[in-house]
A and B are shown apart, each in its own frame.
Chain A
Amino acid sequence: GQQVMQIPQYQHVQEGEDFTTYCNSSTTLSNIQWYKQRPGGHPVFLIQLVKSGEVKKQKRLTFQFGEAKKNSSLHITATQTTDVGTYFCAGPKQNFNKFYFGSGTKLNVKP
């Protein structure tokens, strides 16, 4: 089963509203990656976090890695219709060879 859980499963927002998705792992992660998958497309890498408590920003997107390296979040400020898609977190388990993806949060933005 899934080793990495994400909430919420779905989020519908009005354009301009903020959005946050949360990622939780049952085990400590050496690093965490975030991907975006548009409808009908493949996952596209967004960012990687490695350090405990790390925060990284990409324009309107803010990524955070928890102090215990077991959770992470992605926050989008002032959503746009181009933000529509499913956001996945992913991390390695035990070693760097097995990679586990979360269940994803599907974001829909109403114009």
Chain B
Amino acid sequence: DTGVSQDPRHKITKRGQNVTFRCDPISEHNRLYWYRQTLGQGPEFLTYFQNEAQLEKSRLLSDRFSAERPKGSFSTLEIQRTEQGDSAMYLCASSRGTGEGNQPQHFGDGTRLSIL
């Protein structure tokens, strides 16, 4: 179990630029979640994949956000035309499981995004 890996750890960019984050889940986990966390708040659900299928996307997400998991392994989260309000920690988590029921989620260390 090598854990969930996220890259980069930190990203600083100017407002209006596009950014892409990568998440490598635990290899045998077929479920993958993306969350956003700001200071003093709990992780906020963004989107969920089961294998390569994106099954849920938060209505809070604007069209500037897109996520993919092309082969059911690693996932990418892209934010286009970044805004100040996008500054946050972006967390990826993975878990086992198919069908109904939830399993423990294993989180990566996150990507901290700072918009100048």
Contact = CB atoms under 8 A, between A and B. Distances in A.
A2 B37 CA distance: 12
A35 B37 CA distance: 14
Nearest to A4: B42
A97 B43 contact: no
B100 A99 contact: no
B41 A104 contact: yes
Contact of A42 (B55, B101, B108): B108
Contacts of A104: 40-42
A78 interface: no
Interface string B74-95: 0000000000000000010100
B105 A48 contact: no
A101 B48 contact: no
Nearest to A45: B104
Contacts, number: 63
Interface residues of A, number: 25
Given A44-B107, A48-B104, A92-B102, A99 B42 contact: no
Contact of B102 (A2, A33, A44, A101): A33
Interface of B: 33, 35, 40-45, 48, 50, 55-56, 58, 91, 93, 97, 100-102, 104-110
12 contacts: A30-B100, A31-B101, A41-B109, A42-B108, A43-B43, A43-B93, A45-B104, A45-B105, A45-B106, A98-B58, A99-B33, A99-B102
